[in-house]
């Protein structure tokens, strides 16, 4: 155990986390240069494009230190978005230290600070590393000063590197060994292993990523998940190199994987504790939380012929995303589809993009919703996350919506704008703290529905990226809710229905109408777009028809060419959804979902 | 079996007009060989359709040929194909090419309908369009056509020309009305990219009037001519009474068979096959020397393609399209579509036919696409009308 070090790299976006990971992997000789691919840890295309890591991963790096001993350095990667903050916390809980990476030309940024706080919460050893020192714009001295003043860390503790050029990598590896303490724990004690991730392998089922805190786990052991009591028999344990490497056991302090015949990743809960069935530990490791979707939306195929393909794609996607839930749903306007639950809007966008990119599907998303709670006259309480299931308004005694507590860290100069935004978003009970000079911590209670609508994008642009934002659900509070429907030529487009606060209804309806007006091409007849609460019209726009499209001449020699042209137009129309008599392009549905600021 | 139409393409012009994309050569050097080849092509098609009732000699510029050669073509056609007794023989003529004698001889040669390529009675518009004739020649052409004994004749006129004032268009229309021309084809100038004017537009050197403006011009033209007693029987075609409609052209819109002869000419068997000739006079001559048809390509239409054709062709005409031709659409869905178009004032139903209104005629292409897309998309499950 003395020779093990468990660590993460944390950084603001684009400060070079993945590149540094690559260099460490390369330096320690794990990767074969012939198979080496840039940024091995972020191996999904979409992650690379967005510059974020969605699924955490781990890798064990063998390192021979100057003292001659060979150490196992377990690098645990973390996702970098507020939707996945729980996953980040579980990864950090598996470490004893972190490399806090800072871009030499950009200096300390919003996520640098937010990540530092996270690491501090877990009492981790923090090694500040200044990256990109080779850049002409690098200002290392300024960053060193920031480490002292803004991060309140010992400036003498920093390291310098250029991950891109491979400069300073040895120093980092040495520091990991020297400064990060070896894990503690007793290999003979009852088993306690923390699950920080799970992945689906089509041959082996679910591969559980874990950190063993106490005890030892071997193939053949009966194990139990402490959150739900499910039991399995261990088939294989091992460590991660570039691929899985089988081992006879995993013991206290080690990071690795367990394969135990678990069918899907949904059977595994991140943060859960694995113990031995026959000799369990007395209590689970701290910090477990059941991850529940908070944002809901329906997904429909543009062409109803693609329904089966969509069903299959969701089934496959689900294998690797435990946080994603879905069930069948149907829409009067859009036909058969699925109601899906997500951790947040980014999660939703990722699912949407992957369905389109990896499975080649054209899909339409309904307006995202949170889960509302209604107390009805018959005394029952119902939860509604789909506007289609909005209760009969005459039967509602009390309507409630979920609230969150938002924690925002930002430079003081942006405080005014952010407070205004929070108030506009119906925020209450604010608290203001000053954790350091020039920086404020703002705490607000906000309706979740307001936060998923367009809060995050506006927050980011208001703070020019310097603000960090995190939230947790706190409770349900009474609210004046209404169901807003959108009608196109009198036909309800149920996927665009939204449950909103009454004060928001008119503005939201009008915006949806305007957005649709921009996106729906002019057609042969006037199109009325309306927003309505029940039978009361609260917003209205119209799209005027085009007046002439017929070609002047059409004789024998023109017919074939013309038919081909019109067939092409037809094909274009078929990529749209026909609601009533009106062809609505996919972009119109997406436009309604977008925020006001975009 | 419906009576067929015979189209003969004369692929020669004295000069090429910069807006025209019909196939033709600006020289007559291949004329003799072409006329010989045309004869062979007619022979090869002998017996293709049991009965014809129209012959249309177009181009190109058929009036570059002397009346005797036209007479020869008409004669050959009449001998090789069987024509009904009341047949229509139309020829396109350029006002610059003709005089009273020429027309009298055409009449004697069997031509009984003249289509005059007038385009405009405004010299500046004629110059812009690169025409060989001027407005005076145009007026004279109308006069001599009638004098030669043609009661059935028509003019082509063009609107939406960039340099054309509204008053110029109104003037051309009023002259045509004044001379009581029995048939008028009023075309909006539309340019293919392959023409010199089309390329100027693509380069931004010339700007064509926009949709709103041409829609207004079309509506004005319709109102003006209807007030003067013309019937708009097709998007761009107006006749002073049913007798003066172009019987030949109606075949294109009403799903009837036609045989096209000459380079680039298209044919249709009246049910599902379309085929067409190479657009090259030399290839045409070469093939026919070897007694082979100068075919470029052919296509066999499936049911969906047929329906789309019936829609976009039928909806160009006042008669509209027979609901029977929309048999591929589930009846309920068809009724829903028809009711909606009726409600929107785009079409009416009369005697089992979907007939476009004036508003609908201007949108004939969009209507065809909309109906066939609507027919193929699944119906909505529910609806809420506030």
Q: Domains of chain A by range and CATH? A: 4-179 (3.40.50.300), 192-276 (2.40.30.10), 295-366 (3.30.70.870), 373-479 (3.30.70.240), 482-593 (3.30.70.2570)
| CA of B101 vs chain A CAs: smallest distance (Å) | 31
Per-window interface: B 10-69 vs A, CB < 8 A: 22
Give A-chain residues touching B384 at CB under 8 angstroms: 485, 487, 490-492
More confident residue, A88 or B191: B191
Contact B370 A524 (CB under 8 A): yes
Domain boundaries, chain B: 4-252, 303-376
- Number of H helices and E strands in chain B, helices first, is 14, 15
Query: What average pLDDT does the segment A414-441 reach?
Result: 90
What is the residue-wise DSSP string for A21-33?
HHHHHHHTT-S-T
Q: How far apart are CA A358 and CA A346, in angstroms?
A: 17
Contact (CB, 8 A) for A222 and A231: yes
The two structure tokens encoding residue A172 = 């980092």
CB within 8 A of B77, min separation 6: which ones? Answer: B6, B8, B42, B55, B83
Q: How far apart are CA B223 and CA B196, in angstroms?
A: 33
Mutate to test the interface with A, among B193, B361, B366 (most CBs of A within 10 A): B366
pLDDT higher than threshold 50 for residue A243: yes
What stretch of H or E contains A404? strand A396-411
Q: What Rg, from alpha-carbon coordinates, does chain B have?
A: 22
Q: What Rg, from alpha-carbon coordinates, does chain A have?
A: 27
Query: What average pLDDT does the segment B61-68 reach?
Result: 97
What was the pLDDT predicted at A31?
60
pLDDT higher than threshold 80 for residue A42: no
The Cα-based distances of B348 to A76, B366, B372 in angstroms read: 71, 16, 17
Q: How far apart are CA A460 and CA A597, in angstroms?
A: 11
ipTM more than 0.90?
yes
Contact B365 A551 (CB under 8 A): yes
Q: How far apart are CA A593 and CA A595, in angstroms?
A: 7
Cα torsion A13, A14, A16, A19 to 10°: value is 110
Alpha helices in B12-156 (DSSP H): 31-44, 67-80, 100-108, 123-128, 135-147
What is the residue-wise DSSP string for A86-105?
HHHHHHHHT-SEEEEEEETT
Cα torsion B126, B130, B134, B138 to 10°: value is -80
Contact B313 A559 (CB under 8 A): yes
Contact (CB, 8 A) for A471 and A406: yes
Nearest to B386 among A537, A555, A580 (CB): A537
CB within 8 A of A577, min separation 6: which ones? Answer: A302, A333, A334, A364, A583, A584, A585, A586, A589
What was the pLDDT predicted at B226?
97
| CA of B276 vs chain A CAs: smallest distance (Å) | 8
Per-residue model confidence as pLDDT tens digits over B97-135: 999 999 999 999 999 999 999 999 999 999 999 999 999
The two structure tokens encoding residue B241 = 């009474």
How confident is residue B386, by pLDDT bands cut at 50, 70 and 90?
very low
- Maximum CA extent, chain A: 91
Contact A557 B370 (CB under 8 A): no
| CA of A571 vs chain B CAs: smallest distance (Å) | 9
Per-residue model confidence as pLDDT tens digits over B329-374: 888 888 889 999 999 999 999 999 999 999 999 999 999 999 998 8
pLDDT higher than threshold 90 for residue B264: yes
Q: Is A544 exposed, middle or buried (0-12, 13-18, 19+ CB in 10 A)?
A: exposed
| CATH number for region B303-376 | 1.10.10
Beta bridge partners of A296: A341, A369
Handedness of CA A239, A241, A246, A248 (dihedral sign): negative
Contact A554 B253 (CB under 8 A): yes
More confident residue, B298 or A18: B298
CB within 8 A of A324, min separation 6: which ones? Answer: A293, A317, A318, A340, A341, A342, A347, A351
Contact B362 A547 (CB under 8 A): yes
Per-residue model confidence as pLDDT tens digits over A50-104: 444 434 478 899 999 998 999 999 999 887 666 777 888 889 999 999 999 999 9
Contact A524 B340 (CB under 8 A): no
The pTM (predicted TM-score) of the whole model is 0.73
The two structure tokens encoding residue B325 = 């031709």
Give A-chain residues touching B157 at CB under 8 angstroms: none
The Cα-based distances of A530 to A193, A245, A517, B383 in angstroms read: 56, 60, 11, 14
How confident is residue B148, by pLDDT bands cut at 50, 70 and 90?
very high
Contact (CB, 8 A) for B320 and B356: yes
Choose the weakest-confidence range: A37-46, B128-137, B152-161: A37-46
Q: Does B261 touch chain A (CB under 8 A)?
A: no
Give A-chain residues touching B340 at CB under 8 angstroms: 581
Assign residue B187 a region: left if phi > 0, alpha if psi is -120 to 50, beta otherwise?
beta
Q: What percent of chain A is helix, strand and coil (3-state, nearest 5)?
A: 30, 35, 35
What stretch of H or E contains A504? helix A502-519
| CA of A588 vs chain B CAs: smallest distance (Å) | 18
Q: How far apart are CA A537 and CA A544, in angstroms?
A: 20
Give B-chain residues touching A530 at CB under 8 angstroms: 386
How confident is residue B271, by pLDDT bands cut at 50, 70 and 90?
very high
Q: How far apart are CA A442 and CA A390, in angstroms?
A: 34
Mutate to test the interface with A, among B329, B362, B380, B382 (most CBs of A within 10 A): B380
Choose the weakest-confidence range: A451-465, A546-560, B252-266: A451-465
More confident residue, B21 or A319: B21
Domains B4-252 and B303-376 share a fold: no
| CATH pick for B4-252 out of 3.60.15.10, 3.40.50.700, 3.30.390.50, 3.20.20.70 | 3.20.20.70
Q: How far apart are CA A183 and CA A199, in angstroms?
A: 25
What was the pLDDT predicted at B384?
34
CB within 8 A of A494, min separation 6: which ones? Answer: A331, A332, A333, A334, A366, A387, A388, A485
Q: Strand ranges (DSSP E) for chain B?
A: 4-10, 52-59, 83-93, 113-119, 153-159, 183-188, 231-234, 237-239, 258-261, 266-268, 273-277, 295-300, 321-322, 347-350, 353-356
Q: If we measure between CA atoms, which residue out of B384, B187, B323 comes closest to residue A494?
A: B384
Q: How far apart are CA A253 and CA A96, in angstroms?
A: 10
- Maximum CA extent, chain B: 73
Q: Is B228 exposed, middle or buried (0-12, 13-18, 19+ CB in 10 A)?
A: middle
User: B95-102 — which CB contacts under 8 Å span 24+ positions?
Assistant: B95/B133, B95/B137, B95/B138, B95/B140, B95/B141, B96/B14, B96/B131, B96/B132, B96/B133, B96/B137, B97/B14, B97/B61, B97/B63, B97/B64, B98/B63, B98/B141, B98/B144, B98/B145, B99/B144, B100/B144, B100/B147, B100/B148, B102/B63, B102/B67
What was the pLDDT predicted at B380?
57
Most confident among A18-27, A234-243, B140-149 (mean pLDDT): B140-149
pLDDT higher than threshold 80 for residue B167: yes
Contact (CB, 8 A) for A336 and A298: no
Q: How far apart are CA A413 and CA B239, in angstroms?
A: 77
Contact A554 B367 (CB under 8 A): no
Q: How far apart are CA B113 and CA B176, in angstroms?
A: 17
Query: What average pLDDT does the segment A11-25 reach?
Result: 87
How confident is residue B155, by pLDDT bands cut at 50, 70 and 90?
very high
Tokens 């006329």 belong to residue: B35
The two structure tokens encoding residue A124 = 């981790």
Choose the weakest-confidence range: A27-41, A381-395, B237-251, B259-273: A27-41
Query: What average pLDDT does the segment A414-431 reach?
Result: 94
Nearest to A578 among B212, B268, B373 (CB): B373
Contact A554 B252 (CB under 8 A): yes
CB within 8 A of A293, min separation 6: which ones? Answer: A323, A324, A325, A340, A341, A342, A343
Is the peptide bond prior to A573 cis by the omega test (within 30 degrees of 0)? no
Nearest to A563 among B264, B308, B381 (CB): B308
Give B-chain residues touching A330 at CB under 8 angstroms: 381
> How many Å separate Cα B113 from the centre of its chain?
14
Assign residue A120 a region: left if phi > 0, alpha if psi is -120 to 50, beta otherwise?
alpha
pLDDT higher than threshold 60 for residue A204: yes
Per-residue model confidence as pLDDT tens digits over A516-566: 999 999 988 999 999 999 999 999 999 999 888 888 999 999 999 999 999
Give A-chain residues touching B337 at CB under 8 angstroms: 581
Q: How far apart are CA B38 and CA B35, in angstroms?
A: 5
């Amino acid at each position: 155990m003395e020779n093990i070090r468990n660590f993460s790299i944390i950084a603001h976006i684009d400060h070079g986390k993945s590149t540094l990971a690559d260099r460490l992997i390369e330096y320690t000789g794990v990767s074969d240069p012939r198979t080496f691919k840039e940024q091995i840890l972020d191996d999904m295309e979409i992650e690379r494009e967005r510059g974020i890591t969605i699924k955490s991963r781990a890798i064990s790096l063998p390192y021979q230190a100057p003292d001659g001993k060979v150490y196992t350095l377990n690098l645990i990667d973390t996702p970098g978005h507020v939707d996945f903050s729980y996953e980040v916390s579980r990864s950090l809980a598996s470490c004893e230290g972190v490399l806090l990476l800072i871009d030499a030309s950009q200096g300390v940024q919003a996520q640098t600070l937010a990540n530092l706080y996270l690491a501090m919460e877990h009492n981790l050893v923090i090694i500040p590393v200044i990256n990109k020192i080779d850049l002409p714009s690098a200002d290392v001295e300024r960053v060193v000063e920031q480490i002292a003043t803004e991060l309140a860390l010992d400036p003498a503790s920093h390291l310098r590197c250029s991950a891109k050029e491979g400069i300073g990598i040895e120093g980092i590896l040495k520091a990991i060994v020297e400064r990060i303490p070896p894990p503690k724990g007793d290999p003979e004690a009852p088993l306690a292993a923390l699950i920080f991730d799970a992945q689906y392998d089509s041959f082996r089922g679910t591969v559980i990523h874990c950190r063993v805190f106490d005890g030892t786990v071997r193939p053949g052991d009966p194990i139990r998940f402490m959150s739900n009591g499910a039991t399995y028999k261990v088939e294989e344990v091992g460590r991660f190199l570039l691929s899985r490497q089988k081992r006879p056991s995993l013991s206290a302090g080690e990071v690795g994987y367990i394969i135990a015949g678990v069918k899907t990743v949904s059977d595994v809960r991140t943060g859960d504790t694995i113990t031995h069935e026959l000799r369990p530990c007395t209590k689970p490791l701290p910090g477990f939380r059941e991850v529940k979707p908070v944002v809901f939306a329906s997904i429909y195929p543009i062409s109803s012929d693609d329904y089966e393909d969509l069903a299959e794609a969701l089934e496959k996607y689900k294998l690797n995303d435990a946080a994603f839930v879905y069930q069948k749903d149907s829409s009067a306007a859009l036909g058969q589809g699925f109601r899906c639950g997500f951790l947040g809007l980014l999660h939703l966008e990722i699912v949407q993009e992957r369905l389109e990119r990896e499975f080649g599907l054209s899909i339409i998303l309904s307006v995202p919703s949170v889960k509302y709670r209604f107390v009805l006259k018959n005394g029952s309480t119902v939860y509604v996350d789909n506007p289609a299931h909005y209760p009969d308004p005459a039967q509602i005694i009390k309507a409630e919506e979920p609230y969150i507590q938002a924690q925002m860290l930002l430079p003081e100069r942006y405080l005014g704008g952010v407070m205004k935004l929070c108030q506009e978003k119906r925020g209450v009970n604010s608290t203001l703290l000053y954790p350091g000079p020039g920086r404020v911590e703002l705490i607000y209670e906000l309706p979740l529905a307001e936060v998923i609508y367009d809060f995050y994008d506006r927050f980011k642009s208001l703070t020019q990226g310097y603000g960090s934002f995190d939230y947790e659900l706190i409770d349900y509070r009474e609210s004046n809710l209404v169901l807003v429907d959108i009608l196109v030529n009198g036909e309800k487009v149920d996927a665009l229905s939204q449950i909103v606060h009454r004060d928001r209804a008119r503005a939201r309806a009008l915006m949806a109408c305007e957005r649709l007006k921009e996106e729906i091409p002019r057609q042969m007849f006037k199109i009325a777009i309306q927003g309505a609460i029940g039978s009361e019209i609260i917003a209205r726009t119209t799209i005027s028809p085009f007046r002439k499209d017929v070609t002047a001449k059409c004789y024998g020699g023109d017919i074939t060419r013309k038919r081909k042209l019109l067939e092409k137009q037809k094909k274009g129309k078929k990529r749209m959804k026909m609601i009533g008599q009106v062809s609505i392009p996919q972009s119109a549905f997406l436009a309604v979902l977008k925020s006001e600021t975009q | 079996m419906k009576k067929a139409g015979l189209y003969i393409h004369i692929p020669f012009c004295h000069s090429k007009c910069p807006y025209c994309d019909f196939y033709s050569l600006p020289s007559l050097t291949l004329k003799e060989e072409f006329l010989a080849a045309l004869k062979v092509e007619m022979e090869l098609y002998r017996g293709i359709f049991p009965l014809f009732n129209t012959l249309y000699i177009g181009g190109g510029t058929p009036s570059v040929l002397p009346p005797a050669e036209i007479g020869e073509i008409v004669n050959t056609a009449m001998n090789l194909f069987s024509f009904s007794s009341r047949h229509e023989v139309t020829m396109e003529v350029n006002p610059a090419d003709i005089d009273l004698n020429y027309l009298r001889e055409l009449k004697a040669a069997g031509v009984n309908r003249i289509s005059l390529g007038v385009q405009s009675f405004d010299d500046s518009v004629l110059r812009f369009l690169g025409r060989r004739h001027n407005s005076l020649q145009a007026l004279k052409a109308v006069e001599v056509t009638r004098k030669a004994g043609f009661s059935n004749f028509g003019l082509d006129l063009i609107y939406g020309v960039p340099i054309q004032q509204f008053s110029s268009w109104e003037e051309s229309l009023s002259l045509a009305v004044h001379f009581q021309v029995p048939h008028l084809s009023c075309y909006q100038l539309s340019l293919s990219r392959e023409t010199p004017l089309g390329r100027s537009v693509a380069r931004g050197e010339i700007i064509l009037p926009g949709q709103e403006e041409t829609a207004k011009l079309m509506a004005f033209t319709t109102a003006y001519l209807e007030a003067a007693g013309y019937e708009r029987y097709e998007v761009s075609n107006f006749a002073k009474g049913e007798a003066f409609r172009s019987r030949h052209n109606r075949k294109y819109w009403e799903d009837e068979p036609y045989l096209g002869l000459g380079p680039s000419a298209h044919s249709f068997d009246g049910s599902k096959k379309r085929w067409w000739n190479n657009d090259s006079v030399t290839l045409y001559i070469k093939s026919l020397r070897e007694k082979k048809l100068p075919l470029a390509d052919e296509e066999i239409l499936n049911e969906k393609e047929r329906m789309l054709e019936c829609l976009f062709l039928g909806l160009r005409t006042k008669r509209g399209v027979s609901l029977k031709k929309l048999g591929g659409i589930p009846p309920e869905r068809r009724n829903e579509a028809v009711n909606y178009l009726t409600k929107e004032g785009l079409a009416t139903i009369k005697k089992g036919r979907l007939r476009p209104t004036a508003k609908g005629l201007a949108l004939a292409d969009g209507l065809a696409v909309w109906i066939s897309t609507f027919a193929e998309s699944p119906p909505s499950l529910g609806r809420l009308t506030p």
